[in-house]
Amino acid sequence: MANSFFMDRTGYATPELSLWPPVVIPKEAIEAEIARLAAVPRPANGRRHSLIVHPRWTELGVGPGLAPGIRVTLEVLNPGEQSAPIRHNSTQVNFCIKGAGQSVVGGKRFDFAEHDVWNFPSMLTYWHINNSKSVHARLTYSNAPLLEKMNVHIVDENPPAAVEAVGAPQHDAKDDDPTAKSPYGTFQLTDDGAWLMPYEILINPPSVESKALHWEWAKVKAELDKLVALGKDYKGRRLYLLWNPMTGRTNGTTPNFFATMTIRPAHIVDRPHRHVSAAINYYFSGRGRSTVDGKQYEWKAGDLMLSAPGWGVHNHASYDEPVYELTVQDQPLNIIMESLLWQEDLKHPWHVLGADVGFDTNRVQVVAGKR
């Protein structure tokens, strides 16, 4: 009788990656789904939404997503509607693609407009309000598929009524009880840097406040447009990360994702590159193409695209007008896992970003040459 606890892989050779192919969800399909959602009867919880999924999402046994670790949800609110409060341990990046409204997150209200971005920290109660006279739609990017794969996605559909912003923890007199703490503390065990940490610190790590933050498109665009002056000689990508300082060295908008806003002037072609993190682009101005593993995909304003499956070689090009786009990647997660292989130039080796020294651009030389 075979032992069910063991899987013999003696001499096993790891198979090559089977990358999910890029997909383009056209503007017309998104607009049709917005209209369909707006027309259905209001559900009890007020949340009209559809998941945008990749045709191959069922293959890995992960939750439905547009990339293996990224869920994209199209959410709609009709004028005057409000969604019911909810909270969960997945984190989110929200992006308004139509209309305007308000979000209340952990007791903090955001008034948002088209192309604004805002994040939702873990377990903060939130709801949305459409106080405008037109339909509102947004894209929500979540790490729920990863948590569902781990069987630990906790969703609270009935959170406490009283909602307050998360602040610094209150001092408890029990914290001063010397019998509740290890008398040894955390200390170095070996000369080469191995340490020991007691249980009392293991279950009470230093906390970092996680805030809901709002990046207004009007302010972001004003800074982004300045990057056009770098000209065609610049070898980097003209973008800004919507950075959340609590993510520190992992360069995130949330601990799981970064969101970047990019401007591509007309007739700009990126260098081919690749990275382990998956990339999803929403183009909201202009037209262009992406080449992924040798195959070309055309896109236009209003299209959503899985533009870079993990470790697929890719680059992007703009056509006759400037392109604006939002890109969401699971780069911060890969940095903290020490799994972020990144190859900025295919003629040079890849690096483990966050562990190795990364890459440079020629911005200093370009700026100096314009003086």
Q: What is the pLDDT of residues 249-267, one digit of tens each?
A: 999 999 999 999 999 999 9
Q: Report the SS3 class of residue 343.
A: strand
Cα–Cα distances in angstroms (integers) from residue 8 to residues 11, 16, 61, 121, 204, in the given order: 9, 20, 22, 42, 39
The one-letter amino acid code at 10 reads T
- The predicted model scores a pTM of 0.92
Q: Of the ranges 185-189, 239-243, 285-289, 328-332, which one carries the lowest mean pLDDT score?
A: 185-189
Mean pLDDT of the region 144-149: 95
Q: How is 353-368 classified by DSSP, letter by letter?
A: BTTB-----SHHHHHH
Write out pLDDT tens, residues 28-77: 999 999 999 999 999 999 999 999 999 999 988 888 999 999 999 999 99
- What mean pLDDT do residues 184-194 have? 92
pLDDT value at residue 235: 87
More confident position, 165 or 155:
155
Average pLDDT for the chain: 92
Q: What integer pLDDT is reported at residue 160 of this predicted model?
A: 84
Predicted confidence band at 166 (pLDDT cuts at 50, 70, 90)?
very low
- The DSSP code for 179 is G
Q: What pLDDT digit, counting tens, does each position of 305-338 carry?
A: 999 999 999 999 999 999 999 999 999 999 999 9
Q: How many CB atoms lie within 10 A of CB 31?
A: 14
Stretch 145-165: mean pLDDT, rounded? 83
Q: Tokens 């890849």 identify what position?
A: 350
Q: What is the structure's pLDDT at 2?
A: 59
Q: Is residue 220 within 8 Å of 239, Cβ to Cβ?
A: no
Instruction: Tell me the pLDDT band of 167, cut-offs 50, 70 and 90.
Output: very low
DSSP state, 159?
Answer: -
The CATH number of domain 23-158+212-369, selected from 3.40.50.720, 2.60.120.10, 3.40.640.10, 3.40.50.300? 2.60.120.10
Q: Is 26 exposed, middle or buried (0-12, 13-18, 19+ CB in 10 A)?
A: middle
Tell me, what's the pLDDT at 157? 95
Average pLDDT over residues 200-229: 94
Tens of pLDDT along 11-42? 999 999 999 999 999 999 999 999 999 999 99
Confidence class for position 184, pLDDT limits 50, 70, 90: confident
68: which residues sit within 8 A by CB, 6+ positions away?
20, 57, 60, 62, 145, 278, 310
pLDDT at 370: 73
- Give the pLDDT score at 172: 55
Cβ count within 10 A of residue 272? 18
